[in-house]
Structure 1
Amino acid sequence: MTGTLDVIPATRGKAVRLGKGQAVQIINTHGSQVVDTWAFCIGDLGHHMSMEHTRVENGRLMPAAGQTLFTNKREPILVLEQDTSPGIHDTLMAACDRWRYEHLGCTDYHRNCADNMVEALDEIGVKASHVPQPLNLFMNIPVNGDLSLTQGEPVSRPGDYVVLRALRDCYVVFSACPQDITPINGAGRKPTAAHIRLVT
Structure 2
Amino acid sequence: MADGVEVVPARRGRAIRLGAGQALRVVNTHGSQVVDTWAFIAHDMDEFLSMPHLHATLGGIFPVVGQPLHTNRRRPILLLEEDTSPGRHDTVIAACDMHRYALLGCRDYHDNCTDNLHAALAAIGLRSAVTPAPLNLWMNIPIGADGRIAWAEPLSRPGDHVTLRAALDCVVVLSCCPQDMIPINGAACTPTEVHFEVLG
**Do they superpose with TM above 0.5?**
yes
Distance in 1 between residues matched to 2:160 and 2:152, nearest whole Å:
18
Identity %: 54
Q: Which amino acid aligns with 2:145?
A: G
Aligned to 2:173: 173
Distance in 2 between residues matched to 1:142 and 1:63, nearest whole Å:
15
Q: Which amino acid aligns with 1:26?
A: V
CA contact (8 A) 1:39 1:49 kept: yes
Aligned to 2:72: 72
Q: Which amino acid aligns with 2:89?
A: H
| Residues 114-166 of structure 1: CA deviation (Å, up to 9, x unaligned) | 00000001111112221100000000000012211000100000000000000
The aligned length equals 199
Q: Which amino acid aligns with 2:72?
A: N
Aligned to 2:184: 184
CA contact (8 A) 1:86 1:155 kept: yes
1:100 aligns with 2:112: no
CA contact (8 A) 2:46 2:128 kept: no
TM-score normalized by the length of structure 2: 0.98
Aligned to 2:127: 127
Q: Which amino acid aligns with 2:31?
A: G
Aligned to 1:25: 25
Q: Which amino acid aligns with 2:185?
A: N
| Residues 13-57 of structure 1: CA deviation (Å, up to 9, x unaligned) | 000000000000000000000000000001211100001101101
Distance in 1 between residues matched to 2:167 and 2:17, nearest whole Å:
13
- For the residue of structure 1 that corresponds to 2:36, the secondary structure is strand
What is the aligned-residue RMSD (CA, Å)? 0.9
Aligned to 2:48: 48
Distance in 2 between residues matched to 1:199 and 1:21, nearest whole Å:
9
Aligned to 2:156: 156
Q: Which amino acid aligns with 2:178?
A: P
In the superposition, relative to structure 1, how do residues 3 and 167 fare at CA in structure 2: closer, same or farther (>3 Å)? Answer: farther
- For the residue of structure 2 that corresponds to 1:122, the secondary structure is helix
Runs of 4+ in structure 1 off by over 6 angstroms are none
Q: Which amino acid aligns with 1:47?
A: E
CA contact (8 A) 2:71 2:77 kept: yes
Distance in 2 between residues matched to 1:33 and 1:3, nearest whole Å:
23
* Gaps in structure 1 of 5+ consecutive residues: none
Distance in 2 between residues matched to 1:101 and 1:23, nearest whole Å:
33
User: CA shift at 1:3, angstroms?
Assistant: 5.8
User: CA shift at 1:60, angstroms?
Assistant: 1.7
